[in-house]
Amino acid sequence: MRRSLRHLAISLLSILALSAAPALANSAEDQIRATFILLLSKYVTWPDGAFASPTAPIVVAVVGNPALAERMRALANGQVLEGRAFEVRAAADAASAAGAHIVFVSSPDESRALASAKPIRISEKPTKLADTDIAIRLESGRAAFAVNRGDVARRGLKLSSKLMRLASSFE
């Protein structure tokens, strides 16, 4: 597990190095987001009943960013986690992300629309941490994330203590 966390940190730092060229900045940032979201799933325990069967896929929905969904789909291709493949969907809005286990949204409004749903809501630049479960911030060549611990627990989700040690405090 420690090796996985180290791999996550090294991957994020390597990807950040690519963002030096302005033309590649959006692509590199999408690579960081996609890598983080997929690796995050290794550190989540979903509640009983979250999956239809022991081999049902981990469904990831990306709301409003088809380029990120495509990058994540390419990264997830062929990867299996505890017998589950990844299924990545591009979603136009929160309503079309129904049935996903992890949902990435850029808009605080979309994240709020998912407030009563069961997926892990990952947002970039939420208005406040209460609007999401995990907030990602990419600034000045660095990546950080914060976790809304209370909301994650209320949903019956468990995040690894190893992941939680890497979380930042920001809003």
- Residue 106 is predicted with a pLDDT of 74
- Residue 25 is predicted with a pLDDT of 54
Which uninterrupted H or E stretch holds 37? helix 25-40
pTM greater than 0.75 (yes/no): yes
- Residue 10 is predicted with a pLDDT of 45
**In the chain, what are the domains?**
2-166 (3.40.50)
Each residue's pLDDT tens digit in the chain (171 positions)? 555 545 444 444 444 443 334 434 567 888 888 888 888 899 999 888 899 999 999 999 998 889 999 999 999 999 999 999 999 999 888 788 888 999 998 765 555 556 556 678 888 877 677 778 888 888 766 678 889 888 888 888 899 998 888 887 655
**Residues 123/106, Cβ–Cβ less than 8 Å:** yes
Per the structure block, which two tokens stand in for 83?
Answer: 């017998």
Give the orientation angle of helix 25-40 with respect to helix 66-76, to 10 degrees: 50
Neighbours of 54 (CB within 10 A): 8
